[in-house]
Structure 1
Amino acid sequence: MPLFYMQGMPVGAVAILLACVASIGGFIFGYDTGQISDILVMDDFRHRFGHCTNPSDYSTCDFTTTRSGLIVSLLSIGTLAGALAGAPIADYLGRRLAMIAECLLFMVGLIIQLTAFTVWQQVAVGRLVSGLGVGALSAAVPMYQAETAPTQLRGTLTATYQLFITAGILVAYCISIGTRHLPGDSSWKLVIGLGMIWPAMLIFGISFMPESPRWLGSRNRPKDTARALARVYGIPKKEADTNRFVQAEVDEIMNQLEYERAVKAGWIDCFKPRNKTLYRTLLGMSLQSFQQLTGANYFFYYGATVFQGVGIADSFVSQIILGAVNFVCTFGGLYVMERFGRRTPLIVGGIWQAIWLFVFAAAGTAKDPREDERIGKLMITSACLFILGYAMTWAPGIWILIGETFPTRTRAKQGALSTASNWTWNFLIAFFTPFITSAIGFRYGFVFAACNFAGAATVFFFLYESSDLSLESVDNMYNDPKCKPWTSRHWAPAGYSSRYDLVEQTKAAQARKPPLTATEEHNQIEDVEKGGRGAADRGGLVPGGSSHPPTGEESAIRRTPTRINEGEVDRGTTFVEGHGPDAAGYTVPMTKSGPTGGVGVAHKDTHGNAPAK
């Protein structure tokens, strides 16, 4: 049974569990990111793999700029390749099996690192192999979450991926401070070895989760699709083939996929301007690039080194403080992205981050922080306030957008390209940061501040507001010529008075008849575009004249037997079984909270979706 109702829709415990289990993929990435910052300053690691002027004195051992850059950044080269391969692997194997295979690959990389003793290249290669697994997971996990999570919780559940990244970073910092004084190579090998636990947890947990309903639908398995959706909604398995919530979404998924099979997409289709596909490919790649260019990984990869340069006696403690701020504030990010949408938090966050990076860079440039303790404290405070803004906006927001911005037929490939863009800049920052900081010092912060301003401007001028919309409706919005990014918050398909009206009627439309086939609907659209009356004669109403199959809410409108003027529609009443305002039907007043008794029940307070009388 449903765990709870949200905005009138049932949500099962599995919906929460699958988001948390899949997000362990983010924890793996965060843990691997956080550990290298502290391992680089551990005595035994520097003695084994660094350059020592006096081998008997650990304090004389250090890494050359090139060597430290390669050890840190080769993980990113692996993740770049893994992200590109992640989409076709997930399409071929399925989302769950792909994640299992990628976890195993990550564990192979850890074994390579653990068996290294004096050859630093072996550590670097091990991180490269681990990166292949992490990169593929970064493509598969957000895709799986976006395709499986209920629409009304999609933003929050997808953002758990970023929450788990921050948790992994914090855990790595805490483990490192506990092992740093252990004798010999156990100080750093224990940190790496414990990384085996997280992929094992993901392999075990994902084995009990449902497969992506949209992937099952693409394999022409509607019954399995219905069962997967039923588990997400918390509906008993035996009701999967009859429940109206489930069948309505199955119809929508299968209808969309039927259309997509007629217009199969390859990699080249991601760069075609039709239906704003190229626009969204470039937008996704740009946003992922700007997420790296915020400067967050400057602190996560080299934080211990940075804080040593600030004059902090114990940089490990400073790293933990930074990691704790990052983790705790990400919880706020889950609320912010759900409550305020996507555009506003990213714009405000970009400006906030730029301000504090400017303070960080200006303080470090104006005076040597090692000579003035107050300057050092100001820089740490600025770094923490920067991370606060990043954790609540750009960190979770970009991963949410990657799961919901692209059309279904190219979503996997566009997601892979966007994620690959993220990892490309991840590598560039990881590798070149030692060279840049040695040349310009803390002025590096000015570069990231400018990038944050540029990211905020990109969001304002190019990103559409996709909160509260189904994945299919997001596609319609991007293709509406009357909708602009700065007005998109108020967009709703033709036949709806507002975004809120769309959300409410989409929920009520769960009680509708099965939709027309994709072929019939596509023919209706062509008739309207050619100026014909075929669609109208068949009772169709084509919102916006779009050239793609309708979403569930649009189908519900098109099946009304007569064309209705917007002013004649009674927004306070919903009719089921396809009846229009001029026909008899059981009325269901709109509510913002769901019924306690479930579907098919007419409650005394008139809540619920009861059968037509």
Structure 2
Amino acid sequence: MVLFHAKGMPIGYVAVMLALVASIGGFIFGYDTGQISDILLMPDFLQRFATCTDPSDSSTCAFSTVREGLIVGLLSIGTLIGALVGAPTADFFGRRRAMQMECMVFIVGVIIQLCSFSSWVQFALGRLIAGWGVGALSAAVPLYQAETAPPQIRGTLTATYQLFITFGILVAYCISIGTRNLGGASSWRTVVGIGIAWPALLITGIQFMPESPRWLAGKGRFDEARASIARVRGVPVEEAGQHTAILREVDEIRENVVYEAKVKGGWIDCFNPNRKVLYRTLLGMSLQSLQQLTGANYFFYYGATIFQSVGIQDSFVTQIILGAVNFFCTFGGLYVMERFGRRIPLIVGGLWQSAWLFVFAAAGTAKNPQENKGIGELMIVSACLFILGYATTWAPGVWILIGETFPQRTRAKQGALSTASNWLWNFLLAFFTPFITRDIEFRYGFVFASCNLLGAIVVYLFLYESAHITLEAVDLMYNDPNCKPWTSRQWAPPGYADRDDLVAQSAAAEAQKPLAGATEERIEKTLDSDGAGPGPKSQIYHNENGISEKTLRV
């Protein structure tokens, strides 16, 4: 069933549902991230796992810097491993099956944490294993969403992953504030145990969603790929063989698969300089690293502790405020990334975030926030405004780009390498932040502010605008020698004047109307499509600049 039309193309309800269901993987990520900040302050948790001068009095208990860093940071080591393992898993078993297997790994990690009674090492190892599942999901979910979502709304649907991360963080904060006064271990075990519900939902829900058509095509299963696209488009599967837009999309995927079959797709090929594969690998790893270096997790991991240090009496409430700002502003991010593309929001976001982090750090450095209420309030406001910018730009934007920047043959592995970079920096920040803040306190914010400026520069100089075009066209764009990152917003596939022309002609093709604006360099031919008779018309473009010949549909 067609739910609505976007840029003249049909969108089915399945397209929205698969994005929401798969994004439960992001919810798992966010929930596990958000819970630890408050758990570290719960009395029973402190008495069991911290060092106490009087074990019966939690106020005498405290974590050493190393122990606190390991409990928080070992999750990120697990996620780093999981991200790398997730690529071959997703390639071998398919995107859906991989997600189901990774949810089971996460559940095992949660059970290990629940069975911890006095050993902080066991609890930390449980987080390590749970992190394995989270990391693998963080590689598989954006990949699945980008490969399956219609290009007309790919940014919005892929950004739901980040929306669910923020929702997970907020829910973890709310559950924590509700359980903190429960007696004994129930205060923290309830928070951890509820985490089993989310992977159970994903395991069940993803079973009813279509598999990635690009993964199916890569396995030679073109009929199933066509059926998958039909479901996403809201077209009855039995009518897919006569539907112009679906046949065009399948043919474009098929031709890319045929070409990619001639190219190796191992880990080493992610570092091949040909066709800008190495360029995109390094770009993806840089963007994911810089997303961590924005400083967002400085607040999410240690927010409760930070706001205790600025004199806030109930730091749990402040955490909920930050989590709510993060969650609700991400809705704006869905609009921003679809309306303004990828480059402009990331550049503007980097500058905005940098400005407010400078305010945060300068205020905390100028005066002691515990002795000056106004300074403490300014720091909270600047933290909220920083998160507003982050939630609408860098938070959703980078996850979108990881799904749509890489060529099909190495997409899973390049996405895994990029995501692993995110988790590496996640661990480094989680582990070393207590050491750093102990020595330089709020001046730490200046480091993050500088990294945000660097991020804006990297985006301007190296990132191509990939909004609203197919993944196959993105690959063409990166290999067009006449296209530069700062001019890529105007780039369109050969035969189209610009991206507006591309949208107009796609809408005309969907309506099966004659196309306007045909160029003289088009050479039309008819392609067969999986035995369904003559397929849609295509154009062959002969590129004098040395780009390999490609065929694009009208």
TM-score interval (norm. to shorter): over 0.9
Bigger drift between 244-253 and 124-133 goes to 244-253
**Is the aligned partner of 1:96 residue 2:100?**
no
Q: 1:490 to 1:301 in 2, by over 3 A?
A: same
Q: 1:506 to 1:295 in 2, by over 3 A?
A: same
Q: Per-residue displacement from partner, 1:305-350 (whole Å, max 9, x unpaired)?
A: 0000011000000000000000000000000000011110000000
Query: Does the 8 Å contact 1:493/1:544 carry over to 2?
Result: no
Task: Tell me the TM-score normalized by structure 1.
Answer: 0.85
**Is the aligned partner of 1:199 residue 2:219?**
no
Q: Per-residue displacement from partner, 1:468-508 (whole Å, max 9, x unpaired)?
A: 11111111111111111111111123332222112322444
Amino-acid identity (%)? 69
Aligned residue runs from structure 1 range 209-288, under 5 A: 209-288=209-288
Secondary structure at the aligned position of 1:3 is classed as strand
- Quote the residue 1:408 is aligned against: 408
Aligned-partner Cα distance in 1 for 2:313–2:177: 14
- Quote the residue 2:439 is aligned against: 439
- Quote the residue 2:517 is aligned against: none
- Quote the residue 2:307 is aligned against: 307
- Quote the residue 1:595 is aligned against: none
Q: 1:14 to 1:310 in 2, by over 3 A?
A: same
Q: Per-residue displacement from partner, 1:398-431 (whole Å, max 9, x unpaired)?
A: 0001111111111111111100000000000000
Aligned-partner Cα distance in 2 for 1:275–1:188: 50
Aligned-partner Cα distance in 2 for 1:550–1:424: 37
Aligned-partner Cα distance in 1 for 2:305–2:365: 17
Query: Does the 8 Å contact 2:4/2:11 carry over to 1?
Result: yes
Matched AA of 1:489: R
- Quote the residue 1:505 is aligned against: 505
- Quote the residue 2:533 is aligned against: none
Q: 1:144 to 1:436 in 2, by over 3 A?
A: same
Q: 1:359 to 1:273 in 2, by over 3 A?
A: same
Q: Per-residue displacement from partner, 1:258-291 (whole Å, max 9, x unpaired)?
A: 1111223211111111111111111100000000
Q: Per-residue displacement from partner, 1:149-207 (whole Å, max 9, x unpaired)?
A: 00101000000000000000000000000000000000000000000110000011001
Q: Per-residue displacement from partner, 1:428-456 (whole Å, max 9, x unpaired)?
A: 00000000000100000000000000000
Q: 1:49 to 1:476 in 2, by over 3 A?
A: same
Query: Does the 8 Å contact 1:473/1:551 carry over to 2?
Result: no
Matched AA of 1:310: V
Secondary structure at the aligned position of 2:493 is classed as coil
Query: Does the 8 Å contact 2:364/2:375 carry over to 1?
Result: yes
Query: Does the 8 Å contact 2:179/2:190 carry over to 1?
Result: yes
Aligned-partner Cα distance in 1 for 2:244–2:492: 24
Deviation of 1:55 after TM superposition, in Å, equals: 1.5
- Quote the residue 1:598 is aligned against: none
Q: Per-residue displacement from partner, 1:123-174 (whole Å, max 9, x unpaired)?
A: 0000000000000000000000000000101000000000000000000000
- Quote the residue 1:460 is aligned against: 460
Secondary structure at the aligned position of 2:324 is classed as helix
- Quote the residue 1:106 is aligned against: 106
Query: Does the 8 Å contact 1:45/1:188 carry over to 2?
Result: yes
Q: 1:70 to 1:514 in 2, by over 3 A?
A: farther
Secondary structure at the aligned position of 2:264 is classed as coil
- Quote the residue 1:356 is aligned against: 356
Deviation of 1:243 after TM superposition, in Å, equals: 1.9
Secondary structure at the aligned position of 1:290 is classed as helix
Query: Does the 8 Å contact 1:509/1:552 carry over to 2?
Result: no
Aligned-partner Cα distance in 2 for 1:365–1:310: 12
Aligned-partner Cα distance in 2 for 1:358–1:419: 27
Deviation of 1:235 after TM superposition, in Å, equals: 0.6
Query: Does the 8 Å contact 2:336/2:345 carry over to 1?
Result: yes
- Quote the residue 2:532 is aligned against: none
Matched AA of 1:331: F
Aligned-partner Cα distance in 2 for 1:287–1:274: 21
Matched AA of 1:58: S
Q: 1:539 to 1:222 in 2, by over 3 A?
A: closer
Q: Per-residue displacement from partner, 1:219-272 (whole Å, max 9, x unpaired)?
A: 111111111111100111221232222222111111111111122321111111
Aligned-partner Cα distance in 2 for 1:539–1:86: 37
Matched AA of 1:221: R
Matched AA of 1:434: P
Secondary structure at the aligned position of 1:505 is classed as helix
Aligned-partner Cα distance in 1 for 2:539–2:220: 29
- Quote the residue 1:8 is aligned against: 8
Secondary structure at the aligned position of 2:10 is classed as strand
Matched AA of 2:115: T
Aligned-partner Cα distance in 2 for 1:549–1:24: 40
Aligned-partner Cα distance in 1 for 2:482–2:382: 42
Q: Per-residue displacement from partner, 1:329-376 (whole Å, max 9, x unpaired)?
A: 000000000001111000000000000000000000111100011110
Matched AA of 2:86: G
Bigger drift between 1-10 and 445-454 goes to 1-10
Deviation of 1:552 after TM superposition, in Å, equals: 2.7
Secondary structure at the aligned position of 1:167 is classed as helix
Secondary structure at the aligned position of 2:208 is classed as coil
Secondary structure at the aligned position of 1:552 is classed as strand
Aligned residue runs from structure 1 range 500-539, under 5 A: 500-509=500-509, 514-515=526-527
Aligned-partner Cα distance in 2 for 1:260–1:35: 43
Task: Tell me the TM-score normalized by structure 2.
Answer: 0.94
Aligned-partner Cα distance in 2 for 1:306–1:125: 25
Larger Rg: 1
Count of residues in Structure 1 that have an aligned counterpart in Structure 2: 534
Secondary structure at the aligned position of 1:262 is classed as coil
Aligned-partner Cα distance in 1 for 2:375–2:418: 38
Aligned-partner Cα distance in 1 for 2:544–2:249: 22
Query: Does the 8 Å contact 1:223/1:241 carry over to 2?
Result: no
What residue ranges of structure 2 are gaps of 5+ in the alignment? 513-523, 530-537
- Quote the residue 1:33 is aligned against: 33
Query: Does the 8 Å contact 1:142/1:402 carry over to 2?
Result: yes
- Quote the residue 1:187 is aligned against: 187
Aligned residue runs from structure 1 range 65-80, under 5 A: 65-80=65-80
Aligned-partner Cα distance in 1 for 2:348–2:57: 49
Aligned residue runs from structure 1 range 412-423, under 5 A: 412-423=412-423
Secondary structure at the aligned position of 1:4 is classed as strand
- Quote the residue 1:322 is aligned against: 322
Matched AA of 2:372: D
- Quote the residue 2:132 is aligned against: 132
Aligned-partner Cα distance in 1 for 2:49–2:442: 27
Secondary structure at the aligned position of 2:121 is classed as helix
- Quote the residue 2:166 is aligned against: 166
**Is the aligned partner of 1:389 residue 2:404?**
no
Query: Does the 8 Å contact 1:479/1:546 carry over to 2?
Result: no
Matched AA of 2:126: G
Aligned residue runs from structure 1 range 292-303, under 5 A: 292-303=292-303
Query: Does the 8 Å contact 1:349/1:393 carry over to 2?
Result: yes
